[in-house]
Structures are given as structure tokens and as C-alpha cells.
Amino acid sequence: MGGKLVVFEGGEGAGKTTQISQVQAWLRDSGWVHRIQTALALPASEEPLCLTREPGGTDLGQRLRALLLDGSLTTAAPMQAQTELLLYAADRSQHVTQVLKPKLQSGYLVLCDRFTDSTVAYQGYGRGLDLNLIDQLNQIATAGLESDLTFWLDLEAEVGLNRVHQRLLANTSVDRMEADTLEFHRRVQSGFTALARQYPQRIVRVEAQASEVEVTQVIQTVLEERLKAWYPQLSPTS
């Protein structure tokens, strides 16, 4: 039984991290994790569920993430757009080889915070880098791996940045991406919009301006349908 890669995408402040945590809890509570675990004949101590992220899903990736999101680089020594793109590609290559492919080959259900679509939206549409170049780098870094399902949490750039800025009131720092201009984040949102139109078979748009509970319900409903299609033999109604 092959594993499945479920990715969560979106602009700043869209709530990806919160929703991944909610999905993790739901997968356990609904019994899906246990059913997959039983089908794979895994010991009780080995849960076939992996939560990961880009950048930062490996030890090397954590160091690259610190560089990529370092807010001090915005003024002292701005990172060049191509440098940024190559660092993300390096993180992805390590992540795919070290984490994603081994987990998927073992039959795990992988929940990933950002993947290739973020690079297209941020470095392609946001930074204006060549989309063909980005596609080539993504192909090299992933060795052709694509998500089985991508949830795009769609939120107006202004609303997302307002959520981010609210964190400043709680003395939480803003990273380099979050600190970029509103115009940049509007371009990023347009990039995700274009991707959703181009790949409707794998990208599901979720209205992220709804309440947290409503967003969670939409994601769970869609994921439940996909899980039943992916694992018909494990469906509780089968």
C-alpha cells in the first residue's frame, strides 16, 4: 500500500500550521491512522503519519530555513532572488530524499507544510523569476514527486498580513517573507490562483477567511472523500 502526500499551501497568515495540526488530530481520532497502521502491520509504537515542512524538514533544512527567513537580511545584505530560489531547491532536494520518499515508500500518510507550488507562487510570481527555470529546478529537486492532494488556503493578502502583524502585539517576530511588501504578497496570491486553475485535479481551494472551525470542516470533508478513494479496503463503511 503506497503512501500519500498531502500538502498545505497558502500565503502568509492563512492558517496552514493550525490546520495541519487539526488534521493530524482528526486522522487519529477518526481511526484512519490506526487502520493504515494495521494494514501495514506496523507495531503500535510506529504511527504511519508524518508531519513535515518546507523549508526545514531536515537537519540541513532547518539551517537553510534560518537563512531564508532571517529578517536582518532584508536591509543589511538583501538576498538575491536567484539565491533564494536555489536555497529553497537545495532544501527540497534534501527533504525529498531524506524524508518524503522514504516515508511514502513505507506507506505513510505525509502532511507537508508547503511544497513546489510555494516556489512557483513566491519566487515565480512574487519575485518574477522565470517559471520554466523554476519548473526545471522543481523537477530536479523532487525527482518527479508530486502531491496527491494540495489544500490551498486562499486568503486576501491584506487580511493575511494583518494577521501576521497582530503577532507583533504579542512580541512575536516577523520573518523575512512576512516583512515583504503588500504588492509582493498580492503577486504571490495571484500565483496560487493561477496554479489552482492549472491543476484542479490535485489543488483544492479552501476559503481561509472563514472561521477556523469552518476551514477545518471543509478540509476534513475533502480529505475523508480522498481517503476512501485511496484506501477503499480501509474505509469504515466498506
Cell readout for 145 is: 514527486
> Cell numbers at residue 143, please?
525527482
Determine if residue 54 is labeled as part of a ligand binding site. no
Asked if residue 9 belongs to a known ligand binding site, the reply is no
> Does 142 count as an annotated binding residue?
no
- Say if residue 10 carries a ligand binding annotation: yes
Collect all residues with Cβ–Cβ distance below 8 Å to 82 and sequence separation of at least 6.
129
C-alpha cell at 32: 484512519
Q: How far is CA 93 from the centre of its chain?
A: 15
Beta pairing, strands 4-10 & 109-113:
parallel
Please name the residues in contact with 193: beta carbons below 8 A apart, sequence gap of 6 or more. Answer: 154
| Count of all residues that appear for the chain in the document | 238
Alpha-carbon distance values, 166 to 12, 111, 151, 160, 189 (Å) = 12, 27, 24, 10, 20
> 214: annotated binding-site residue?
no
Tell me: is residue 16 an annotated ligand-binding position.
yes
Q: Which three cell numbers stand for residue 172?
A: 512575536
- Check whether 4 is labelled as a binding-site residue: no
Give the count of beta carbons closer than 10 Å to the beta carbon of residue 139.
12
C-alpha cell recorded at residue 170: 504579542
> What is the spatial distance between Cα 98 and Cα 93, in angstroms, rounded to a whole number?
8
**Residue 142 grid coordinates:** 523532487
Q: Is 124 annotated as a binding residue?
A: no
What φ, ψ does residue 34 adopt, rounded to 5°?
A: -65, -40
> Annotated binding site, which residues?
10-17
> Annotated binding site for ATP, which residues?
10-17
